[in-house]
Amino acid sequence: MASNLNKLIASVKKETRHLLRDREAFLLLFVMPLIFVLIISMAMRDTFREQGGVVLPVVIIDNDRDVVGPAVIEAFSSIKAFRVETAVEGNGTTEEDIKADVTAGRHKFAVIIPRGATAGANSAVQRQLRFVRGVDAAQVKVRLIADPQLRSDMRSLAAVSTGRVLQAIENRVLWERFAALAGMKITPEREKEIREILASNRPFAEVVAEDAAARAEQGDLPKPTSVQQSVPAWSLFAVFFLVIPLSVTFIKERQAGCLQRLRSMPVPVWVIMLGKAVPFFIVNQLQLILMLLAGMYIVPLLGGDRLEIGDAPVAIAMVSVAVSFAAVSYGLAVAAYCKTTEQATTFGGASIIIFGALGGIMVPKFIMPPVMQRLAVVSPMSWGLDGYLDIFVRHGSVRDILQEVAGLLVFAAAAGLIAVLRLRRTTR
Amino acid sequence: MPRMKTSVEAAIELGGLVKTYPGGASPAVAGVDLVVGRGSFFGLLGPNGAGKTTLVSMMCGLLAPDAGRVRIAGLDLAASPDEVKGRIGVVPQDLAVYPSLTPAENLEYFGSMMGLGGSRLGGRVDECLRIARLGPYAQKRAETLSGGLKRRLSLVIGLIHEPEILILDEPTVGIDPQSRLFIFDSLKAMNAAGMTIVYTSHYMEEVECLCRDIAIIDQGRIIAHGGLAEILAASGAGTVEIRAQCAPSEALLRRLGEIDGIRQVSCEGSIIRAASAQPTAAMCEMIRLMEEAGAGILSVSHGVSNLEALFISLTGRGLRE
């Protein structure tokens, strides 16, 4: 046993030397996934904000410059679903500018209040007070210009909310008229009181968009932010992507005759396999640490959210180790079955992409249809991602990730066994 | 299980070895019995696909036989694979070195895999570098070395643990004559020091020059085995070549083949070749029969064959895999 341990140490040393001597390839193992994580985290930020019930940036153009404009701005500002980033006067800003601004994604939609909107509101109230039927609401057209990429449900939310805001303004004017007709004396104190009452006259219900299917599947669990989803997801992808260099190295070793020479020596197969696996496992761990640190410290510098990693470092370590076991074992199995580096690159790469697609790496699972969510169980990346999300988003502990860790370890054991059996068979 | 005659003097004993690959129409090795003596310089020859590599792989423990047994240095390979592997050194046809490691690191790694360590490993690494004259290149990456230097490195990796038996599979492929001669000299010296050497090659002159004991394998069977002189004599390795005016008839060829002592007759256009242990007598009888048949003779030659002629005569001129 001691002799085999020495052989294992020698194998790890050899493989580490081999890895470190191709400096460019070694650096790429870290730099490429890091760039990937940063890009995806930033690119998906707004999409996740929409998903997570966060705010939609809205610009309001007040061409009315009377009562309605400020009232609309105030009303939108009070609704959690929106963030009124700028309210600009119509002067100097053309409609084309507004459209370009919205199309570029700087605002998800724009509300354009036309000239004479206040007069239109007063007119409508007057007609109602005189019991005139058929009030023409279309006399005042408040336009809503939406980002073409805005999802339809979000677009509906914007339209309904705008309608409610306008309705509230109309009600307010109507209420003031009723007060005047009732002959109430408006003292300064009464005026303040009325204003407070009017200020509280907001839409009776807040409109909150939600995805019924996703909530049904996942209960009332919180959804991740962009960085909470992207960092662990694409880190997992990078970890599994080591399947390609690992299997290619292994196959090259076999093609060069080194493996044959080793098998003519008193070296157990497990020593050969572990000798290759250990350095790649260490690389995996370094990758994961780097990606998590990038999510915590680099993404915020670029304007994204900070990655919150929960409060269970042991659980994070357990998931990271299990994920790496699964990836390395899978790489060895691919190496054992593929005859050429071309096969390993193609099969290994394609299978990782499929695992990624199924496992919620490319498309978050909570927006997948239920059938695809159930199918995700075949992907070890799904278990890894669930493990990380349990910790980061749901603030889970070691107990909460045991199932995912067990799944990953079973996958690792199965892939490792397949690799060992295959290697024994092909070299005996 | 076939009975195998064992000998304390045998380095390698193969008994009734059979190996058929999945999907193979016929066995790659079809019942081979072979004994290689201790201290022997044994040459294994065979055309492509004859079963040579399969046989060597079974000797090295790389391939499990379907039937039969392998004993190395008196040990049963199936029962004590690690002990047997510790006694043999293998130099595969491929270079089998790690290109990103230096020669010293390659030797250190493979030495560790053979169970060496500490000062003994260091001493063996230095010794192997000295044997292969790789000292000046010890710290350069193997990928930067010439083909000849890599071959020398590959050879000494097989020697790192001082094996009793060294098995080489075409170790001189793709190297210059100087490196080849260097390898020959090294092998001769090692054999003189008592090491048993198994040498497979396609180069007949190499085997003729190096090996005292030769076996020829074809279609999975040993078809000749013994010392060079012994197998040349036993196989009727004299040759006769007669150039006729025109291609001989089938009937004439048949009559030539029936001459006493002629082992094989072949014809290529108007050239008739025959193999015989007594080439002079055979030549006279062939001339007589051809004159009787009215076949004009343009030229005649005969002589004692070399290993290549014997090899061709035994395995035929047809192209193999």
- How far is A236 from A378, CA to CA, in rounded Å? 15
| SS3 state at B238 | strand
Res. A324: pLDDT tops 90:
yes
* B residues 114-133 closer than 8 Å to A (CB): 114-115, 117
- Taken in order of first residue, the domains within chain A and their CATH numbers are 2-47+216-426 (no CATH), 55-209 (3.40.190)
A333's tokens:
């199995």
Interface test with B, best of A261, A262, A269, A426 (most B CBs within 10 A): A261
Ranges under pLDDT 50 in chain B = 1-8
Q: What is the mean pLDDT of residues A385-414?
A: 92
A77's tokens:
């500002």
Beta sheet of B41-45, edge-to-edge order: B88-91, B165-169, B196-200, B41-45, B213-218, B221-226
| pLDDT, tens only, A198-243 | 555 443 333 333 333 333 344 444 556 778 888 999 999 999 999 9
The answer to whether the CB atoms of B85 and A264 lie below 8 A apart is: yes
Q: Please give the residue that has the higher pLDDT: either A33 or A164.
A: A33
Interface test with B, best of A1, A3, A9, A14 (most B CBs within 10 A): A14
What is the interface size between A and B, counted as CB pairs within 8 Å? Answer: 82
Q: If we measure between CA atoms, which residue out of B22, B93, B30 comes closest to residue B60?
A: B93
What residue segments make up the domains of chain B, in order of their start? Answer: 10-231, 238-304
Task: Decide if B140 touches A, using CB distance below 8 A.
Answer: no
Task: Decide if B112 touches A, using CB distance below 8 A.
Answer: yes
The answer to whether the CB atoms of B85 and A266 lie below 8 A apart is: yes
Handedness of CA A129, A130, A131, A136 (dihedral sign): negative
Q: If we measure between CA atoms, which residue out of B198, B180, B172, B231 comes closest to residue B41?
A: B198
Give A421→chain B minimum CA distance, Å. 14
Instruction: Supply the pLDDT for residue B321.
Output: 58
- How far is A369 from A47, CA to CA, in rounded Å? 17
Q: If we measure between CA atoms, which residue out of A248, A229, A244, A282 comes closest to residue A393?
A: A229
Q: Please give the residue that has the higher pLDDT: either B204 or A264.
A: A264
Instruction: Supply the pLDDT for residue A204.
Output: 35
- Are A111 and A142 in contact by the 8 Å Cβ rule? The answer is yes
B298's tokens:
């343009």
| pLDDT, tens only, B26-63 | 899 999 999 999 999 999 998 888 888 899 999 999 89
Name the residue facing A21 among B94, B100, B112 (closest C-beta).
Answer: B100
Residues of B in contact with A267 (CB under 8 A): 113
Give B290→chain A minimum CA distance, Å. 54
Task: Decide if B64 touches A, using CB distance below 8 A.
Answer: yes
B7's tokens:
């000998």
Q: If we measure between CA atoms, which residue out of A133, A361, A341 comes closest to residue A253?
A: A341
Q: Tell me the pLDDT band of A319, cut-offs 50, 70 and 90.
A: very high
- How far is A376 from A387, CA to CA, in rounded Å? 14
Give B302→chain A minimum CA distance, Å. 44
Name the residue facing B98 among A14, A260, A264 (closest C-beta).
Answer: A14
- Are A287 and A33 in contact by the 8 Å Cβ rule? The answer is yes
- Are A211 and A240 in contact by the 8 Å Cβ rule? The answer is no
Q: Which residues contact A185 (CB under 8 A, 6 or more apart)?
A: none
The answer to whether the CB atoms of A264 and B90 lie below 8 A apart is: yes
- How far is A55 from B29, CA to CA, in rounded Å? 76
Residues of B in contact with A7 (CB under 8 A): 112-113, 115
The answer to whether the CB atoms of A264 and B60 lie below 8 A apart is: yes
Res. A311: pLDDT tops 80:
yes
The answer to whether the CB atoms of B112 and A10 lie below 8 A apart is: yes
Instruction: Supply the pLDDT for residue A60.
Output: 84
The answer to whether the CB atoms of B115 and A261 lie below 8 A apart is: no
Residues of B in contact with A266 (CB under 8 A): 81-83, 85-86, 113-115
| pLDDT, tens only, A74-113 | 878 877 777 786 556 555 677 777 777 776 667 778 888 8
Task: Decide if B94 touches A, using CB distance below 8 A.
Answer: yes
Nearest C-alpha in A relative to B54: A428
The answer to whether the CB atoms of A22 and B86 lie below 8 A apart is: no
| SS3 state at B304 | strand
- Angle at the Cα of A11 from the Cα atoms of A7 and A14, rounded to 5 degrees: 140
**Residue A33 — φ and ψ, nearest 5°?**
-65, -30
- Specify burial of residue B58 (Cβ count, 10 A radius: 0-12, 13-18, 19+): buried
Give A29→chain B minimum CA distance, Å. 18
Nearest C-alpha in B relative to A267: B113
Instruction: Supply the pLDDT for residue A121.
Output: 76
Task: Decide if B63 touches A, using CB distance below 8 A.
Answer: yes
Name the residue facing B96 among A14, A21, A260 (closest C-beta).
Answer: A260
The answer to whether the CB atoms of A256 and B81 lie below 8 A apart is: no
The answer to whether the CB atoms of B109 and A14 lie below 8 A apart is: yes
User: Average model confidence (pLDDT) for chain A?
Assistant: 80
Q: Tell me the pLDDT band of A281, cut-offs 50, 70 and 90.
A: very high
| SS3 state at B283 | helix
- Are B216 and B224 in contact by the 8 Å Cβ rule? The answer is yes
Start-to-end Cα distance in chain A: 22
Q: If we measure between CA atoms, which residue out of A107, A69, A75 comes closest to residue A206?
A: A75
Give B92→chain A minimum CA distance, Å. 7
Name the residue facing B85 among A3, A265, A427 (closest C-beta).
Answer: A265
Q: How large a percentage of chain B has pLDDT more than 70?
A: 93
- How far is B236 from B263, CA to CA, in rounded Å? 7
- How far is A42 from A329, CA to CA, in rounded Å? 32
- How far is A188 from A207, CA to CA, in rounded Å? 35
Res. A5: pLDDT tops 90:
yes
- How far is A347 from B209, CA to CA, in rounded Å? 49
- How far is A322 from A96, CA to CA, in rounded Å? 54
- How far is A371 from B207, CA to CA, in rounded Å? 68
Residues of B in contact with A262 (CB under 8 A): 110, 113
Q: Please give the residue that has the higher pLDDT: either A121 or B94.
A: B94
Handedness of CA A165, A166, A168, A172 (dihedral sign): positive
- Are B263 and B231 in contact by the 8 Å Cβ rule? The answer is no
**CATH T-level assignment (fold) for domain B10-231:** Rossmann fold (3.40.50)
Instruction: Supply the pLDDT for residue A210.
Output: 33
The answer to whether the CB atoms of B112 and A7 lie below 8 A apart is: yes
Residues of A in contact with B86 (CB under 8 A): 266
Q: How large a percentage of chain A has pLDDT more than 70?
A: 79
CB atoms within 10 A of CB A148: 9
The answer to whether the CB atoms of B99 and A256 lie below 8 A apart is: yes
Give the rounded distance of the alpha carbon of A296 from its chain centre: 15
| pLDDT, tens only, B152-186 | 999 999 999 999 999 999 888 878 888 888 889 99
Interface test with A, best of B109, B140, B161 (most A CBs within 10 A): B109
Domain spanning B238-304 has what CATH number? Answer: 3.30.70.2470
B81's tokens:
């694979």
Residues on A contacting B at a C-beta cutoff of 8 Å? 3, 6-7, 10-11, 13-14, 17-18, 21-22, 253, 255-258, 260-267, 427-428
- Are A173 and A121 in contact by the 8 Å Cβ rule? The answer is yes
Residues of A in contact with B77 (CB under 8 A): none
User: Average model confidence (pLDDT) for chain B?
Assistant: 87
Instruction: Supply the pLDDT for residue B82.
Output: 93
The answer to whether the CB atoms of A22 and B100 lie below 8 A apart is: yes
Instruction: Supply the pLDDT for residue A417.
Output: 93
Name the residue facing A17 among B92, B105, B157 (closest C-beta).
Answer: B105
